[in-house]
Amino acid sequence: MDCLIKKLNEKDQFISKIKQDDKQVTQFFHYNAMHSTDYLNKLKSENNGREQKLANIINDYMNDLDLTELQKDHIQSLSKGAKVVIGGQQAGLFGGPLYTFHKIFSIITLSQQLSKEYDFNVVPVFWIAGEDHDFEEVNHFNVYNRQKAELKKVKYHTLEPPENGVSNYKPDKDELLNSLNRFFKELKETKHTKPLIEICTNIIERYDYWSDMFKALIHEVFKDYGLLLIDANNKKLRSFERPFFKTIIENHQQIDSTFRKTQQDTMANNIEQMIQTDSNVHLFLEKDEKRQLLTFENDYYYLSKSDEKYTKEQLFKILDEEPHRFSNNVVTRPLMEEWLFNTVAFVGGPSEIKYWTELNDIFTLLNIPLPIVMPRLRISYLNERIEKLISQYELNTAQIIENGIVEDKDKFIRARASTDFIERVSALKEEQANLYQSLESKVENNNDNKNLLAKNNEIHQQQFDYLLKRYLLNIERENDVSMKHFREIKHVLHPMGGLQERIWNPLQILNEFGLDVFSPSTYPPLSYTFDHIIIKP
């Protein structure tokens, strides 16, 4: 496999500003991602004392999996105080979008790199956001049908979507299998198809809960890297988190006011606002199988989807007896994660890392060390066919990934059109515009005639535009094979106007390139980079 690094022009300059050590951004982080001394300071920092208990909880959570020796070693290292590189994601259908895998590769790559460079044992940990209840975010993905050169949406259908965390959701296994079949129906069968279907089918049959199926698939792909997994909604973890939930409830007013002020400061420094929440408690409480946001008003804590209200003492009683009913929102989740783990670096998506700027002062308030915040690796896959098409049409791969194929397609069509025809139509448009201007002075004292003239000019200009558009469309139809090629390139490298990793599903890569495509023996060794990676399997 070949691995190429391409620098793309960032539409959003946030990541570039981190790379450039721009104080407008880095002032909102405790540590600097570009300073080697900050990594060493984090690695040498005092541990929180929770590592032994946390390692036991992770070991218990993963005990239904066939652990590799490296995973066992990492659990042991964690129990002895090893620092971690961590990141997380919602439990998407059959792994969700490709960037979930790339986030995991980022965690693994950075942990390996830090271990080697600083001679510390750094453990990769992936945090499954099983408490998340936004089911519409995780119940679908897209598949690329090469034969038809089109994208299809594959969705798990249910008339009763869960309103609680997906870790508590038992999906219909027949519908999951239907979704799996719909996915593979769109793909060309390869020698990897049947084994891959068998792996997914076995996971569906073995596990009952949504995020457990996600966990099993992630483990199957990344176990040989020693990746450790934990579900934020794990009951034993929730019990362990009791003291910090209590701290959040006790200090929620200070937390909220500090968060709001820091958010205003980031916006004043031209960092776009990321966190939108009406909560002032920043916690959820499960009630009637619904995950409900807590809001404090007039000495009571109110639920967002019912008429229930609680005193602080009542909340503490629930916390003592049923801690699994509590969960964090976007403001307190990072706090909880860092309270639990001795973290060197947190890895997040391009938007996700912006959240942390708005939380900077809350970490200081609660005396919790902020990790080094890093953007995940961004990766696209270039198969042999697309590479040949790009060469055939003399295109630029990086430009397609960044901007799409529209400009190249238009250039191709116009190269096969009559330049004289296009120029004559343009001349007619200009003549019409000049004629309109000369007639305008003749009717300047009559408003009805001015409107009539303007409308007439508009109709003529629209007709010229229509003529040119249909002329070029006919050229396009005459070159239907090439147009299919351009669609193929678009759906592979710039699908739905964005990056491949946001639209494609990992199973598509596994089906095309093999069950070991993501394994240490096959996948190219990565170095941590802020630039875009292109992999040619």
As a whole number of angstroms, the distance between CA 404 and CA 493 comes to: 8
**What pLDDT is recorded for position 7?**
83
**What pLDDT is recorded for position 537?**
75
pLDDT at 324 over 80: yes
pLDDT at 410 over 90: yes
Residue 382 main-chain phi, psi, to 5 deg: -120, 105
182: which residues sit within 8 A by CB, 6+ positions away?
154
Q: Which amino acid would we find at residue 237?
A: L
pLDDT at 440 over 90: no
Place of tokens 């994208």: 151
Alpha helices for 80-231 (secondary structure H): 98-118, 173-185, 193-206, 210-222
Handedness of CA 83, 87, 92, 96 (dihedral sign): negative
Place of tokens 């200081």: 364
Asked if residue 385 lies in contact with residue 487, where contact means CB atoms within 8 angstroms, the answer is: no
Higher model confidence: residue 241 or residue 433?
241
How much of the chain exceeds pLDDT 90, in percent?
89
Q: Which amino acid would we find at residue 158?
A: T
Using DSSP's 3-state secondary structure scheme, residue 146 falls into: coil
Task: Kindly state the greatest CA–CA separation across the chain.
Answer: 90
Question: What are the C-alpha distances in Å from 261 to residues 160, 258, 266, 366?
Answer: 39, 5, 9, 16
pLDDT at 403 over 80: yes
Question: What are the C-alpha distances in Å from 384 to residues 7, 79, 259, 522?
Answer: 22, 45, 49, 17
- Compute the C-alpha angle 267/250/236, nearest 5°: 100
Using DSSP's 3-state secondary structure scheme, residue 232 falls into: coil
Query: How many residues are listed for the chain in this entry?
Result: 537
Q: Which string of DSSP letters, residue by residue, matches 371-394? A: PEEEEPPEEEE--HHHHHHHHHTT
As a whole number of angstroms, the distance between CA 153 and CA 328 comes to: 31
Give pLDDT tens digits for 32-58: 999 999 999 999 999 999 999 999 999
Q: Which of 351, 395, 390, 342 is nearest to 370 (CA)?
A: 342
Asked if residue 241 lies in contact with residue 336, where contact means CB atoms within 8 angstroms, the answer is: yes
**What pLDDT is recorded for position 514?**
94
DSSP 8-state assignment for residue 497: G
186: which residues sit within 8 A by CB, 6+ positions away?
143, 144, 145, 152, 154
Asked if residue 63 lies in contact with residue 212, where contact means CB atoms within 8 angstroms, the answer is: no
Residue 344 main-chain phi, psi, to 5 deg: -85, -55
Mean pLDDT computed over 172-179: 97
* Reported confidence tier of residue 444, pLDDT bands at 50, 70, 90: confident
Give pLDDT tens digits for 481-530: 999 999 999 999 999 999 999 999 999 999 999 999 999 999 999 999 99
Using DSSP's 3-state secondary structure scheme, residue 156 falls into: coil
Asked if residue 43 lies in contact with residue 344, where contact means CB atoms within 8 angstroms, the answer is: yes
* Reported confidence tier of residue 364, pLDDT bands at 50, 70, 90: very high
